[in-house]
Amino acid sequence: MSKPTWFDRADKLHRAIVNHRVYRGQPVDVTAERKPYGDDDGIFLAMGLAGEAGEVANEFKKWMRGDYTREEFTAKLRGELGDVRVMLELVARYAGLDLDEVTEEKLAVVEARWRARGILK
């Protein structure tokens, strides 16, 4: 399966951020091949994903306590969900996994479980 067009841009951006964080002040070649990420990138990516998911939850909290109208909430959530999706794709790539394949496999397992219970036909 081919990745969405935004994926390569997100990957390039992540590499630039990590390279800047690790090699501050030195030129960054974001086209350089790496395996697909460096050894310390896993923690960086996992923490990024957790942080973005926390921001989604925070937007729900603010909406529930009345800080936003439904329209304002939807606009804020849209931005945060984009961040989560990008980080999730990067975490999957770090692990050498295709997120689309992982999702298809998981859906098959869950569908089988609900069919066995007679809930899903």
Q: Tell me how far apart the terminal alpha carbons of the chain are, to the nearest angstrom.
A: 28
Q: What is the rounded average pLDDT of the residues 31-60?
A: 79
pLDDT at residue number 96 = 85
Cα(80)–Cα(51) distance, integer angstroms: 10
Environment class of residue 109 by beta-carbon count within 10 Å: exposed (0-12), middle (13-18) or buried (19+)? Answer: exposed
Question: Does residue 7 surpass a pLDDT of 60?
Answer: yes
Buried b (16+ CB within 10 A) or exposed e, 78-102: eebeebbbbbbbbbbbbeeeebeee
Rg over alpha carbons for the chain, rounded to the nearest Å, is: 18
Task: Label residue 28 by pLDDT band (50, 70, 90).
Answer: very low
Summarised one tens digit per residue, pLDDT across range 53-90 is 999 999 999 999 999 999 999 999 999 999 999 889 88
Question: Does residue 25 surpass a pLDDT of 60?
Answer: no
Q: Which residues lie closer than 8 Å to 81 by C-beta, 6 or more apart? A: 56
The predicted model scores a pTM of: 0.69
Instruction: Kindly list the structural domains of the chain, giving each domain's residue range(s) and its CATH number in brackets, ordered by start.
Output: 5-116 (1.10.287.1080)
